[in-house]
Amino acid sequence: MAGFIRVRRAAMAGIALTLVTALAAGCAGSDDTASAGASGGSDLSGEIIFADYGGPTNESRQAAYFDGFQDETGVEVVSVAIEDAIYMGMLDGEDGDYDVFQSSAAETLTHTDNLLELPEEMRGDLLPEELRPYVVGGFVFGIAQGWLTDTFPDGGPQTWADFFDTEAFPGTRAWPGAPGSFDASYEIALLADGVAPDDLYPLDIPRAEAKLDTIRDDLVFYQAYPEVQQLLVSGSAAIAVTVTGQYTALMNAGEDVTIQWNEAFVVPSGFAFPAVSGNPDAVTALAGWMNDPERQADFTERTLYGPVNSEVFDHIPEDVAANVVNSPEHEDQVLHWDNQWRGENYEDLLTAYTAWLAG
């Protein structure tokens, strides 16, 4: 299998260069070129089965990326709800229905032997270097603490140590309660306990759990991310720790929300390109399409997920950039996971967090 994958990777690199050149010409060229693409006159054909988690984010991808790609190439991107059993099997090299599927950085980095690599010009330069070759349609989200601004009119927690200070900042805390969504729980606890960011890995799980136990009675556990919005709005939680997209949703609903960018975690994500993809030519072309800075800027404005192409920040307003976790203005504040370590130790983390939740 490994030899086959290397041959496929080499072949794909050559194909991709041709496809990107054709697409670039189509974007900047005549109406005749665009009509040819829309009528299937390009070298691409068929469809792409694109597996993700749906919802407003998928709708934003449809508008920012997929509709134009179909108009230009004639290839329809068919969105389907991702199923764990299928995508995990494909990461392990098994056959499956997806041509591209959502995958965490840790999952991707620990399964690279079963993934295809993208040509360098299609790679997101804001992704970790070791991750860049394998990510189609990359984006970046944050994990941060946030609250309704009126909750702390004189200013809320500035650090994770402050988050654990329930006397200075009273109120319950919304906290991940699903075993698989432990997110940055252990990192947050260790930072609050005085561990320096550069010394986080390998994670000292017993120490982190001991710190978590100190505020366990002040935690309100949520099972799904959207629950955070209701917990904050209803006053059931004063502060939340969650993915920053939930704060974006509250802002879009008219709520005044403060996101604490200091010590927020920058989490790269995107879509894996399996070696068993049924339409690799089209997926490669889509990767180039989605890495275009103007299209990524459109997606970023719609979702406030961070871009993976640094040129995007030349195309978005300052007020949008201010709410994007990997904006240059947050560079000195945010933190990064060790994705490789987390991937290699995922099962241990899951087992430990599941046991801690069970009490």
Start and end residues for every CATH 3.40.190.10 domain found in the chain: 2-139+269-320, 142-267+329-358
Q: 141 pairs with which residues across the strands?
A: 267
Rounded CA gap, 89 and 114, in Å?
10
Sequence length of the chain is 359
Rounded CA gap, 215 and 174, in Å?
12
Contacts of residue 13, Cβ cutoff 8 Å, sequence gap at least 6: 117, 119
Question: Class for domain 2-139+269-320, per CATH?
Answer: alpha beta
Q: Provide the 10 A C-beta neighbour count for residue 167.
A: 5
Answer whether the bond into residue 170 is a cis peptide, omega within 30°: no
SS3 162: helix
Looking up tokens 């982190």, which residue turns up? 208
Q: CATH: 3.40.1010.20, 3.90.1150.10, 3.10.129.10, 3.40.190.10. Which one for 142-267+329-358? A: 3.40.190.10
Rounded CA gap, 279 and 283, in Å?
6
Q: pLDDT, tens digit, for every residue of 104-136?
A: 999 999 999 999 999 999 999 999 999 999 999
pLDDT by residue, tens only, the chain of 359 residues = 333 333 333 334 333 434 444 444 344 333 332 333 333 346 899 999 999 998 889 999 999 999 999 999 999 999 999 999 999 999 999 999 999 999 999 999 999 999 999 999 999 999 999 999 999 999 999 999 999 999 999 899 999 999 999 999 999 999 999 998 899 999 999 999 999 999 999 999 999 999 999 999 999 999 999 999 999 999 999 999 999 989 988 998 999 999 999 999 999 999 999 999 999 999 999 999 999 999 999 999 999 999 999 999 999 999 999 999 999 999 999 999 999 999 899 999 999 999 999 98
Looking up tokens 């000195």, which residue turns up? 332
Rounded CA gap, 54 and 287, in Å?
19
Helix H segments across 54-153? 55-61, 67-73, 84-91, 105-109
Q: pLDDT, tens digit, for every residue of 216-244?
A: 999 999 999 999 999 999 999 999 999 99
Q: Which of 282, 244, 274, 211 is nearest to 142 (CA)?
A: 244
Q: Which structure tokens are listed for 185?
A: 């729980």
Please give the pLDDT value at position 290: 98
Contact in structure between 118 and 137 (CB atoms under 8 Å): no
Contact in structure between 40 and 47 (CB atoms under 8 Å): no
pTM for this prediction: 0.83
55-84 core/surface letters (b: 16 or more CB in 10 A; e: else):
eebbebbbebbbebbbebbbbbbebeebee
